[in-house]
């Protein structure tokens, strides 16, 4: 389960990088060029979108990388990343796979109660 959590967390984090890049870029384009009626409108909280665009992929990738040795810590990081993505971006066609993969990886890592090696979570 730890290996699956690692792979899913890193893949989900890489997909979250793409979502974050475009979300941050969208808020920046609207700031620089202004709103265009019917085409571009600023989001309610650009600071939240920018923060989530930066933090969520980092947490997901770091959690995935930690999942083999520190499954509980990595799982918590990935669950926080999935929650942050859901809160900031919502669940849609471009966010369903990053959120789903990261959340599943977090659950798998937390559920890996018995470590592969004779080592506890702490």
Q: What is the pTM of this model?
A: 0.88
In a domain, 50, yes or no: yes
pLDDT band at 38 (very low <50, low <70, confident <90, very high): confident
Whether residue 79 lies inside any domain: the answer is yes
pLDDT by residue (tens digit) across 51-107?
999 999 999 999 999 998 889 999 999 999 999 999 999 999 999 999 999 999 999
pLDDT at position 65 is 95
| Spatial CB neighbours of 18, under 8 Å, sequence gap ≥ 6 | none
Question: Residue 48 CA to chain centroid, in angstroms?
Answer: 14
116 has a pLDDT exceeding 60: no
The answer on pLDDT for 119 being more than 70 is: no
Give the range of the structural domain holding residue 28, as residue numbers without chain letter. Answer: 2-111
pLDDT score for 35: 86
Say if 122 falls within a structural domain.
no
Give me the phi and psi of 43, to 5 degrees please: -70, 165
Residue 99 domain-assigned (yes or no): yes
pLDDT in tens, 12-24: 999 999 999 999 9
CB atoms within 10 A of CB 120: 9
Is residue 55 situated within a structural domain? yes
Q: Is residue 121 part of a domain?
A: no
**Position 117 in a domain:** no
Is 118 inside any structural domain? no
Give the total number of structural domains in the chain. 1
């Amino acid at each position: 389960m730890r290996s699956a959590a690692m792979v899913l967390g890193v893949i989900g984090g890489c997909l979250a990088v793409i979502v974050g890049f475009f979300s941050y870029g969208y808020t920046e384009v609207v700031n620089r060029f202004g709103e265009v009626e019917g085409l571009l409108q600023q989001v309610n909280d650009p600071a939240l979108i920018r923060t989530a665009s930066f933090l969520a992929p980092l947490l997901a990738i770091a959690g995935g990388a930690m999942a083999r040795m520190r499954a509980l810590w990595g799982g918590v990081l990935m669950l926080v990343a999935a929650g942050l993505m859901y809160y900031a971006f919502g669940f849609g066609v471009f966010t369903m796979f990053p959120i789903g993969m990261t959340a599943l990886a977090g659950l798998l890592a937390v559920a890996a109660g018995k470590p592969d090696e004779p080592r506890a979570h702490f």
